[in-house]
Amino acid sequence: MNFVSIRLRLAAWYFITVSAMLFLFGVGAWAAMRHSVLTSVDHDLKFRLRDVREFIDRQLNIGAKELLDELGEQAMLGLGGGQVQLLDEHGQVLYRASRLGNTRFPAIHTDAAELAYTTQESGRKRLRLAWQTVELHGRIFTLQVAESMEEFDESLTAFRNVLLVLSPLFLLLASLGGYWISTRALAPVDRITRDARSIGIANLSSRLQMPRAKDELRRLTETLNEMLDRIDSAVRRMVQFTADASHELRAPLTLIHTAAEFSLRRERTHDDLLTAMRKILRESERTSRLVDELLLLARADSCTDDLRLEPVNISDSGRNAVEQISTLAEPKGIAVSYEMPNAPVIVEGDEQALARLWLILLDNAVKYTNERGQVKLSIRDSDSEAEVLISDNGVGIAAPDLPFVYDRFWRADKVRSRNAGGAGLGLSIARWIVDRHGGKIDISSEAGQGCRVFVRLPLRRATTIS
């Protein structure tokens, strides 16, 4: 693909625009001048006809021969411009000035009293002709006068030549000026391009220099800087996520390797081998869960999840989740209960994803609730939303830690969380599930006062699930 810079295209459009304007101006100016010349000549011919008519009107009391002789003498002195012709009512020529030469007037109607004009070629010259039929003392005459257009045509030709000579020169200067202006106007674009090319993965914190003028280029620079902020933040999260994932995976893998290596160093009893195998199995299961969660988040980040939204009764999925969590809560003596309406609460959602959401939130509640504590799941529907509340009377979350609870691999108590089997990904996955369902999730808690998690999902009114 051929590359044509914007400045060249702007200069080309400027050239085309100025060319069209010059052409229209030249044609318009020449037409206006030609019209002005004809108007001036016709005005002069009109007054010449008036002078001839007044002269004949004054001289009609003398004889016809004397009238024609006087007309000839006055024509020689300039009456009618010296190019006069007089016709009677039958169209017969009564007088014709010698200066008319071979000039022929067009056929006329003797009953036409209005002034008439025409232009006629006479050899290499052009003549402007005017005539009028008048009635003087009961007699009808046709008065005709002419004017050479030679001087006027020379003026028009000179004016046209000036336009033809100056227009290309002016067009060239205007095009050069347009190219210079476009170069100056696009100089900030070159700087933005140069600065953008200098930014890479190693210096994502760098930003483009802001133009001083508050124009479109400044908005473009602000937009690019905002995009760089998002990319920088995403890359930082990706780097941190990779580092955290590596750290989380290294601990169980190291334990598995150590347990296996220690068991193989020398002969072990059957009980020792069973203990080692249990450690390996436990850490393998934990590593498998962690890998599954990492894959889920990776698919979520790449928008390639395969959630299928359909009508789901969250009362059923919530009740099933409570029953599963009760088994895990039983060793600690934690009472897990639920409160749900009798009617189904239907939302558009993915049944497996929603079940995973309730399990994540209930599992967190059980993990951070002391022995003999209480965990409760409540579901109710409002006019347009299904409201789910998971509450506990556990250790709670300190206020300074609340803004970070959705960060991946984040834990308020890292040692205790790892011992409990968590990797710090549960709430990240929970928020993603809620976001994919068009809902909202909020957490309110205080240290030592338990925790309350609110989930709101768009409600779909229905009585049955098809």
Q: What is the largest CA-CA distance in the chain?
A: 163
d(CA 358, CA 378): 11
> Binning pLDDT at 50, 70 and 90, where does residue 466 land?
very low
Q: Judge whether 269 lies within some domain.
A: yes
Q: Judge whether 393 lies within some domain.
A: yes
Encoded amino acid at 257, one letter: H
Q: Judge whether 211 lies within some domain.
A: no
Q: Judge whether 448 lies within some domain.
A: yes
pLDDT of residue 390: 92
Residues 225 and 343 in one domain: no
pLDDT of residue 415: 41
The closest of 218, 179, 211 to 5, measured between CA atoms, is 179
- Mean pLDDT, residues 138-161 taken together: 84
Residues 62 and 107 in one domain: yes
Residues 258 and 345 in one domain: no
List, for residues 286-309, the tens digit of each pLDDT value.
777 777 777 777 776 666 667 788
3: tokens are 């590359």
Residue 418 has pLDDT above 50, yes or no: no
> How many domains are contained in the chain?
3
Residue 99 has pLDDT above 70, yes or no: yes
Residues 123 and 42 in one domain: yes
Residues 328 and 422 in one domain: yes
Q: Give the domain CATH number at 240.
A: 1.10.287.130
Residues 330 and 277 in one domain: no
Q: Judge whether 253 lies within some domain.
A: yes
Which of 117-131, 294-308, 441-455 bottoms out in mean pLDDT, i.e. has the lowest? 294-308
> pLDDT exceeding 70 applies to what percent of the chain?
88
* Cα 462 off chain centre by: 42
303: tokens are 């928008």
Contact 186, 7 (CB under 8 A): yes
> pLDDT exceeding 90 applies to what percent of the chain?
9
Contact 325, 359 (CB under 8 A): yes
Of 114, 139, 156, which closes a domain? 156
pLDDT of residue 142: 85
Of 156, 176, 193, which closes a domain? 156
pTM, to two decimals: 0.52
Contact 336, 362 (CB under 8 A): yes
The more confidently predicted of residues 358 and 258 is 358
Contact 217, 211 (CB under 8 A): yes
Encoded amino acid at 399, one letter: A
Q: Calculate the average pLDDT of the chain.
A: 81
Residues 269 and 294 in one domain: yes
Q: In terms of residue numbers, what domain contains 266?
A: 216-301
d(CA 85, CA 148): 15
| Four-residue CA torsion sign, 226, 231, 237, 243 | negative
Residue 2 has pLDDT above 60, yes or no: no
Q: Judge whether 192 lies within some domain.
A: no
Query: Coil, strand, or helix at residue 104?
Result: coil
Q: Judge whether 144 lies within some domain.
A: yes
pLDDT of residue 464: 43
Residues 58 and 31 in one domain: yes
The closest of 214, 228, 235, 224 to 191, measured between CA atoms, is 224
Contact 386, 457 (CB under 8 A): yes
Residues 319 and 408 in one domain: yes
Residues 317 and 430 in one domain: yes
Half-sphere exposure of 253 (CA within 13 A, CB side): 9
Q: Judge whether 183 lies within some domain.
A: no
Q: Give the domain CATH number at 387.
A: 3.30.565.10
Partner residues linked to 379 by β-bridges: 388
Contact 366, 334 (CB under 8 A): yes
- Mean pLDDT, residues 41-67 taken together: 82
Of 134, 156, 178, which closes a domain? 156
pLDDT of residue 362: 92
289: tokens are 């869960």
pLDDT of residue 454: 94
Strands 335-339 and 374-381: parallel
Q: Give the domain CATH number at 150.
A: 3.30.450
Residues 54 and 148 in one domain: yes
Residues 261 and 339 in one domain: no
